[in-house]
Amino acid sequence: MFRIFTLEKERFTVRKGSFFIAAFQGFFVKASMGLASAVIGWLLKFGGYTANETQTTKALIYIEASFIWIPLGLCILIAIIMAFYKLDDERKNMDVELEKRRKNLDSVLG
């Protein structure tokens, strides 16, 4: 009976945690989209962009940087960072460790 309670508590805790993760993810996605839009607006304003007119060379350079070179640079930076991300390998070890702890709990509780 205690094992069932432990599983239910674990399931509840995991479920509760996933709600927080989803809430934070939604918030940060929306906040980063707003920040990205603001940065693009600032870059275009600094580059001299004017709507519905022929753009100057400086404005065209800033437009190109805003939509090609800066995103490309960020993608390369993310790829470099992700090359050092080793949690996928650790996940297998974490699952094995959790299963050992659950089995130990079963043997202690009988």
Instruction: Say what the pTM is.
Output: 0.60
Instruction: Among 21-25, 68-72, 105-109, name the one with the lowest average pLDDT.
Output: 105-109
| Res 10 pLDDT > 70 | no
For 66-79, letters b (16+ CB in 10 Å) and e give beeeeeeeeeeeee
pLDDT digits 0-9 by tens, 39-68: 999 999 999 999 999 999 999 999 999 999
Band of pLDDT at residue 20, cut at 50, 70 and 90? confident
Question: Which pLDDT score, from 0 to 100, does residue 1 have?
Answer: 43
Cα distances (Å, whole numbers) of residue 52 to 49, 55, 62, 67, 110 = 10, 9, 16, 18, 76
